[in-house]
């Protein structure tokens, strides 16, 4: 084992090296690889390289099963192989890299996040949780080190749901929770998911093969930028996620009556856009009223709209989330009631299809504690925080215990090209993950304990 470590950079945070509490280091991890790495620069370079795979020359947009997804997958597979992993595509286009452990029969730990992006995205959402674990495993590989247990890194093909309006396709398939009716979902060009899978070189009839067995998995860990302002406001580079908000997405349509903008008097109109506007305002009012609920209309368009035509049909999307299932359901019920009232008053029809519906997800107390110990061993205080954003971890919770690390993001901005994080924070996160990996025991939290692993040691 060679010690080729370069000096550690200053993390650039309030908790600088001088205030670090090295005595918090876990017993047995004294020779931790985390002490001898400097992975931040490489992780950032890899993330910038991946961001070149975009459908648009100016904006970063990389949707599921596009040629740019294929290009990104090739890059990820190459990085995995450099890290001593085997790498291949699974049945839904996820990249799966396997890092062998000393005990091949041990249950495997899965690390990962997604490769797809929203339109005009930032470089870190999803990609960080793919590249950072590969960098950590590469550090182990280059030192000839193995963990006791095997580790898989999965770069999920679809989390954002931008192309087929159904989120988490990649992680649902891995978790064995893929709904086959999704295969007929269409993108905006009318391409069905099963056609897109075929065009990507995959067999839509084989999607079931992407699923892992419950008894072969010891847990799932996702590293992700926070996408919010809390860590930055508190001067912390890293935090542990406690829960992920439940979320529902609707594709809604208002059907009114189109007409001539000059001839139909105001009191005889059934203006679909005026009705939709009321609906948007109602969603905002209802979610303001319910603590912890958030509601967003991110897309709204008139069908065949023109300056001198009363809108006859309007299509819009609704995204409603809340940290508690009770509040989430209350928000949905009140929004439905508001749509009905607007429809009756205005003589229009509201139609909606639910395209995504997940309950709130609690992270595993055991994995949270193990991640917290790794953070303390790096000299930082543990900050637990909930996630308002959705993550692959929500789908993976159907398969195994899940834990997440949040990394500070600049100004809390995400889903936007201004999304940013520092090399120093990437380094902190890599060291925390390495410490976690070195301390993780795949025998604890057996599948039957899933979700209730309690106080078992790491
Ligand atoms: C995913 O990024 C989501 O929360 O919408
Ligand atoms: Mn996202
Ligand atoms: Mn994400």
CA-CA distance, 95 to 72, in Å (whole number)? 10
pLDDT at position 165 is: 84
CB-ligand 1 contact for 314 (6 Å cutoff): no
- Tens of pLDDT, residue by residue over 267-300, are 999 999 999 999 999 999 999 999 999 999 999 9
The number of the ligand 1 atom at minimal distance from the alpha carbon of 126 is 2
Q: What is the pLDDT of residue 94?
A: 98
Q: Is 390 in the pocket of ligand 1 (CB under 6 A)?
A: yes
Q: pLDDT of 117-142, one tens digit each?
A: 999 999 999 999 999 999 999 999 99
The response to whether residue 373 sits with its C-beta less than 6 Å from ligand 1 reads: no
**Residue of 124, 243, 389, 409 with the most ligand 1 atoms within 8 Å of its CB, for mutation:** 389
Query: Which pTM value belongs to this model?
Result: 0.84
Nearest CA to ligand 1 atom 1: 390
Q: Of the residues 165, 167, 388, which should be mutated to test ligand 1's pocket, given the most ligand atoms within 8 Å of the CB? A: 167
Pocket residue to mutate for ligand 1, from 391, 394, 412, 414, most atoms within 8 A of Cβ: 391
Residues with beta carbon < 5 A to ion ligand 2? 125
Which regions of the chain are under pLDDT 50?
1-30, 448-457
The verdict on the CB of residue 389 being under 6 Å from ligand 1 is yes
> How high is the pLDDT of residue 36?
72
Which distant-in-sequence residues (6+ apart) come within 8 Å of 25 by Cβ?
32, 377
CA of residue 373 to ligand 1 center, whole Å:
28
């Amino acid at each position: 084992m060679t010690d080729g470590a370069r000096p550690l950079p200053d993390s650039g945070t309030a908790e600088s090296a001088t205030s670090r509490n090295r005595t918090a280091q876990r017993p047995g991890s004294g020779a931790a690889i985390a002490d001898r790495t400097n992975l931040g620069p490489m992780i950032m370079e890899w993330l910038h390289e991946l961001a070149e795979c975009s459908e648009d020359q100016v904006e970063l947009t990389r949707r599921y099963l596009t040629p740019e997804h294929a290009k990104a997958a090739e890059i990820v597979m190459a990085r995995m192989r450099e890290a001593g992993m085997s790498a291949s595509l699974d049945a839904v286009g996820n990249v799966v890299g396997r890092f062998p452990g000393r005990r091949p029969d041990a249950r495997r730990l899965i690390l990962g996040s997604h490769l797809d992006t929203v339109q005009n995205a930032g470089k870190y959402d999803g990609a960080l949780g793919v590249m950072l674990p590969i960098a950590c495993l590469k550090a182990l590989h280059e030192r000839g080190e193995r963990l006791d247990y095997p580790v898989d890194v999965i770069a999920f093909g679809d989390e954002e749901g931008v192309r087929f309006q159904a989120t988490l396709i990649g992680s649902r398939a891995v978790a064995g929770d893929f709904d086959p009716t999704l295969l007929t979902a269409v993108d905006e060009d009318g391409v069905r998911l099963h056609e897109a899978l075929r065009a990507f070189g995959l067999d839509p009839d084989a999607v079931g093969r992407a699923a892992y067995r419950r008894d072969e998995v010891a847990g799932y860990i996702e590293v992700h930028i926070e996408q919010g302002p809390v860590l930055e406001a508190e001067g912390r580079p890293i935090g542990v996620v406690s829960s992920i908000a439940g979320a529902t997405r609707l594709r809604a349509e208002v059907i009114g009556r189109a007409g001539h903008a000059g001839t139909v008097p105001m009191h005889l109109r059934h203006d679909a856009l005026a009705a939709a506007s009321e609906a948007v305002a109602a969603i905002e009012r209802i979610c303001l009223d319910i603590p912890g609920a958030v509601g967003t209309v991110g897309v709204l368009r008139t069908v065949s709209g023109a300056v001198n035509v009363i809108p006859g049909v309007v299509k819009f999307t609704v995204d409603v989330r809340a940290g508690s299932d009770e509040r989430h359901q209350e928000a949905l019920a009140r929004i439905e009631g508001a749509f009905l009232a607007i429809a009756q008053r205005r003589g229009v029809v509201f139609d909606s299809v639910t395209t995504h519906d997940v309950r709130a997800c609690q992270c595993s107390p055991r994995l949270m504690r193990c991640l917290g110990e790794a953070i303390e061993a790096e000299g930082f205080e543990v900050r637990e925080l909930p996630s308002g954003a959705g993550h692959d971890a929500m789908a993976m919770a159907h398969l195994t215990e899940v834990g997440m690390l949040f990394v500070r993001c600049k100004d809390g901005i995400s889903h936007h090209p201004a999304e940013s994080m520092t090399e120093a924070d990437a380094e902190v996160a890599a060291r925390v993950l390495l410490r976690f990996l070195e301390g993780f025991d795949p025998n604890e939290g057996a599948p039957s304990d899933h979700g209730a692993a309690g106080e078992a040691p790491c």
